[in-house]
Amino acid sequence: MYLYRFEVSLKSEIIPVVIAATTDEQAFQLVDVELEKYFLKQPDFEEISLYEKKKIRSGNGFVLYERENILNP
Amino acid sequence: MAYEKAWADNPKLNKTEQKKLVKDGLKIFEDIPHYAKNGFASIPKEEWDNFKWAGLYLQRPKEDGYFMMRVNVPSGILSYEQIKTLAHICKDYGRGVFDITTRQAIQFHWLTIEQIPDIFRRLEATGLSSAGACGDITRNIMGNPIAGIDPQELFDTSEIVKEVYEFFQHNEDFSNLPRKYKMSISSNVNNSAHAEINCVAFTPAYKEVDDKEIPGFHIKIGGGLSSRPFLAQPLDVFIEPHQVKEVAIAITTIFRDYGYREKRHFARLKFLMADWGPEKFKEKLLEYTGQLPSKGRDALQGWNGGYFYGVHPQKQEGLSYIGFNVPVGRLDADEVLKLAEIAKLYGNGEIRTVNSQNLIIPNVKHQNVESLLQEDIFKRITTQPLSFIGHSVSCTGIEYCNLALVETKERMRRIAESLDQRITLDVPIRIHMVGCPNSCGQRQIADIGLQGVLLKTKEKKMVQAFEIYVGGTLDDGGKFNEKLKGKFHADFLDEVLIRFLDHFKETKLPLETFFDYINRVGLEPLQIELDRISEQLEEKVS
């Protein structure tokens, strides 16, 4: 099981999403599910980027501070 | 146990630390014979991570039970017997895949637990070891790959590296460090051991003592890449060659006893150094070593990126060393056997590994150089590689690594080949490709760093893509490269790079390096150019 760090790029904002899953494919599917759960309707995204995955264990996590994606001004 | 684990009572220790208190990582060596006898299924899952102390990782997918093994090569120096041993292990057990790493070590793949005891026996018989090649312990010690034959080195560092390496090998006083721990010891004036990205680096220096200038070392502490990169910072001390072991032990003791153990991602020496700063670190060091003289004159003249291509005279009259390119660091076992025989026939059998994932054959008589170069194998493993393939580095990538998101090694080779066919520059461009943010391919110090991401596009297509970083170096203290905007579909990356480098070619000054060029023009024109390329390419990802 891995912890995945995503960024979902919308037109004017970036949404960080963290998912626990066993495969990359499953993790991408679960991003859709989580987006739908949160926004009720899936937002119109430009792209969903997987930046990093870590093994799930105590002490592993991500700091969601700096954005990987740089939005155009 | 010859020391007290001062951190043992900390209730906030992370799980790995708690495990290490119960069982030292090196104890895995005692368990391996049992597991080898009873097969992979007999290894409890919670023991998998302990194999790192024996230089073993499970390659992906872990459940299949194949191991990657990393073998230490201190200073990158291998004897004829050692090379033959490595090649035969690779041929007999490792499906012939022989990788040179960015820390001068050797990596095998596809090993099963049943094979490990025999591999250990073979390694030990020739003085090799995989102990501590992974895990929270002193890793392979990087050195000057031309130590002892380098006309410009201040002195031969090979014995110093060996002495320090052997002290830490299987040493349970230092096998429970907070995290991985990387050391380099080199007196090469071109910074061939990449001082600034090591936890601890001994770099060449002179100091005036009693009206006489003596050679020795400066030290830099707290470098490291990974997802939070730091450049090592100098301490205001001068170390004489005979003091290196003592100082290395002192610094390692400081890391062991004061390093952070609550959070794994905050445990490398670089974080302690970032908190303490050079002054406090020096003060603590002097508590262990007693007074040390202040810094002398730095003897570093620049940075060669770890590249030694071509034929060069050694300090020994009449002898040459020859630097070869190994495309993205990968050889097959038969090639290694052939290289060993050539090294013996023309040299003294020695081969040196380089952190640029390349190799050197030393001690070749000048008059034998031409015949050596006529050998068939040197059509692929060449002294004069085309520029891009000659300066490409790649991590292992998705082929074997559990954390990689994309394929890298073969892709980097293909892209470099494509660039070499289509563009010629008057300076080399160092391109490093990595498959995740963990930087095994040292993305941050590349002229152009390519970092892989997995993307789902608007059209719900899954694609492997890369982000582009520019302007890294270890010259003059070092600078990490910076990210440009945009992500590029892996299949079109070569086209993006060709257009990007064409622009560089058209706008650069004669013989201007990529780093100097960025310093002169800034990032903005490069971003504008990259955006323009993005628009031109219909298949652009974002």
Positions of B annotated as catalytic residues are 70, 179-180, 435, 440-441
Q: Is residue B243 part of a domain?
A: yes
Secondary structure (DSSP) of B451-491: EEEEEEETT--EEEEEEEEE--B-GGG-B--EEEEEEEEGG
CB contact under 8 Å between A55 and B402, yes or no, is yes
Return the pLDDT at A71.
56
Average pLDDT value for residue range A41-54: 88
Q: Is residue B314 part of a domain?
A: no
Are B263 and B393 in the same domain? no
CB contact under 8 Å between A70 and B265, yes or no, is no
CB contact under 8 Å between A28 and B453, yes or no, is no
Return the pLDDT at A43.
82
CB contact under 8 Å between B458 and A45, yes or no, is yes
Q: Is residue B1 part of a domain?
A: no
Taking the CA of residue A53 and the nearest CA in chain B, the distance in Å comes to 6
Q: Is residue A60 part of a domain?
A: no
Q: If residue A54 lies in a helix (H) or strand (E), which one and from where to where? A: strand A47-55
Q: Is residue A71 part of a domain?
A: no
H, E, C per residue of B78-94: ECHHHHHHHHHHHHHHC
Query: CB distance from B483 to chain A under 8 Å?
Result: yes
Q: Is residue A66 part of a domain?
A: no
CB contact under 8 Å between B403 and A54, yes or no, is yes
- Write out the E strands in B194-287: 200-209, 212-221, 233-234
- Write out the E strands in B152-196: 183-185
Return the pLDDT at B538.
62
Residue A10: name the closest of B458, B71, B79, B498 by CA: B458
Neighbours of B407 (CB within 10 A): 17
Q: Is residue A7 part of a domain?
A: yes
Are B281 and B410 in the same domain? no
Mutate to test the interface with B, among A10, A51, A67 (most CBs of B within 10 A): A51
Could you tell me the CATH number of the domain that includes residue A8?
3.10.20
Are B111 and B260 in the same domain? yes
Strands B233-234 and B482-489: unpaired
Q: What's the mean pLDDT when you consider all of chain A?
A: 86
Question: What is the length of chain B?
Answer: 542
Are B393 and B294 in the same domain? no
Q: Is residue A28 part of a domain?
A: yes
Whole-number Å distance between alpha carbons of B6 and B148? 40
Are B404 and B271 in the same domain? no
Which residues of A, range 45-64, sit inside 8 Å of B by Cβ? 45-55, 57-61
Rounded to 10 degrees, the C-alpha dihedral B118/B122/B124/B126 comes to 180
Q: Is residue A73 part of a domain?
A: no
CB-closest option in B227, B458, B467 to A46 = B458
Cis amide prior to B428 (ω within 30 degrees): no
Taking the CA of residue A41 and the nearest CA in chain B, the distance in Å comes to 15
Are B283 and B404 in the same domain? no
Taking the CA of residue A39 and the nearest CA in chain B, the distance in Å comes to 17
> What are the distances in angstroms from CA B113 to CA B49, B63, B110?
14, 13, 10
Tokens 């014995």 belong to residue = B159
Tokens encoding A1: 């099981």
Return the pLDDT at B327.
87
Q: Of B298, B318, B343, which closes a domain?
A: B298
> What are the distances in angstroms from CA B243 to CA B181, B219, B325, B423?
20, 12, 35, 49
Query: CB distance from B10 to chain A under 8 Å?
Result: no
Which chain A residues are Cβ-neighbours of B483 within 8 angstroms?
A: 70
Confidence of residue A70 (pLDDT cuts 50, 70, 90): low
User: How many domains are contained in chain A?
Assistant: 1
Tokens 């071109």 belong to residue = B190
Query: CB distance from B455 to chain A under 8 Å?
Result: yes
Return the pLDDT at B367.
96
CB contact under 8 Å between A47 and B542, yes or no, is yes
Are B398 and B294 in the same domain? no
Q: Is residue A63 part of a domain?
A: no
pLDDT in tens, A1-32: 999 999 999 888 889 999 999 999 999 999 98
Could you tell me the CATH number of the domain that includes residue B39?
3.30.413.10
Return the pLDDT at A68.
66
CB-closest option in B437, B485, B541 to A51 = B437
Task: Tell me which residue range forms the domain holding B284.
Answer: 15-298
Q: Is residue A35 part of a domain?
A: yes
Which chain A residues are Cβ-neighbours of B227 within 8 angstroms?
A: 52
Are B285 and B398 in the same domain? no
Low-confidence ranges of chain B (pLDDT < 50): 540-542
Return the pLDDT at B541.
46
Q: Is residue B362 part of a domain?
A: no
Taking the CA of residue B448 and the nearest CA in chain A, the distance in Å comes to 17
Q: Are A3 and A62 in contact (CB under 8 A)?
A: yes
Q: Of B275, B298, B321, which closes a domain?
A: B298
Return the pLDDT at A7.
93
> What are the distances in angstroms from CA A47 to CA A43, A72, B218, B341?
11, 15, 48, 53
User: How many domains are contained in chain B?
Assistant: 2
CB-closest option in A28, A52, A59 to B462 = A28
Taking the CA of residue A24 and the nearest CA in chain B, the distance in Å comes to 8
Query: CB distance from B122 to chain A under 8 Å?
Result: no
Give pTM, 2 decimals: 0.87
Task: Tell me which residue range forms the domain holding A22.
Answer: 2-55
Are B278 and B415 in the same domain? no
pLDDT > 60? residue A73: no
